[in-house]
Amino acid sequence: MMAHNLCYSTLVPRHLVKNWDAEKITTTPNGDTFVKPDVKKGIVPLILEELIGARKRAKNEMAKATDPFEKAVLDGRQLALKISANSVYGFTGAQVGQLPCLPISSSTTAFGRVMIEQTKDLVQKKYTKANGYEHDCQVIYGDTDSVMVKFGTNDIE
């Protein structure tokens, strides 16, 4: 959502796309269009940046803390910020919620699928016998934010 400036405030309705310079908009893999961040930064990406930044600060403070109670409070804070950031995607796709916006949620999912496919292709092209590896790797799973790869070796190194 942050990388592609997906937001209620940057969504370009389909009937207005023709009015935009192609350099100023991004069309998502599922065909929705959003204004690029250099034209107008979206509110949702700004909120996500703040949540992620606050989580990073809490984790840094937690690493420095020596008091177990303080560590526990900071851990709770960083987990709450993580859940809050992750829930932003959820409320854009929840049609019974207060802020549904299927173009945002479906575009997020579509970009994720593209990234998983690109990762799969990159890994399968690089880790091959032809490139000097002992085995050809095999992607055995990919979903949401991860790709699981079987490298075919028993040696961790």
**Residue-level pLDDT at 143:** 82
Shortest CA distance to 10 belongs to which of 80, 94, 103?
A: 103
d(CA 119, CA 124): 8
Q: Which residues pair with 11 in a beta bridge?
A: 34
Which run of H or E residues covers position 74?
helix 68-93
We report the CATH number of the domain holding residue 16 as 3.90.1600.10
d(CA 113, CA 146): 11
E-state strands within the chain: 11-12, 25-27, 33-35, 138-143, 146-150
**Residue-level pLDDT at 146:** 86
31-61 tens-digit pLDDT: 999 999 999 999 999 999 999 999 999 999 9
Q: Is residue 34 part of a domain?
A: yes
Q: Quote the number of domains for the chain.
A: 1
Shortest CA distance to 26 belongs to which of 6, 54, 9?
A: 6
Residue 150's SS3 state is strand
**Residue-level pLDDT at 98:** 84
Q: Is residue 43 part of a domain?
A: yes
Q: Is residue 106 part of a domain?
A: yes
* Angle in degrees, CA 94, 57, 109, rounded to 5: 25
| Count of CB atoms situated within 10 Å of the CB of 144 | 8
Predicted TM-score (pTM) of the model is 0.84
Q: Is residue 57 part of a domain?
A: yes
Shortest CA distance to 100 belongs to which of 109, 110, 88?
A: 88
Parent domain of 15: 11-112
**Are the C-beta atoms of 34 and 5 separated by less than 8 Å?**
yes
Q: Which of 10-14, 57-61, 87-91 has the lowest mean pLDDT?
A: 87-91
Q: Is residue 17 part of a domain?
A: yes
Q: Is residue 138 part of a domain?
A: no
Q: Is the pLDDT of residue 94 over 90?
A: no
Q: Is residue 150 part of a domain?
A: no
Q: Is residue 154 part of a domain?
A: no
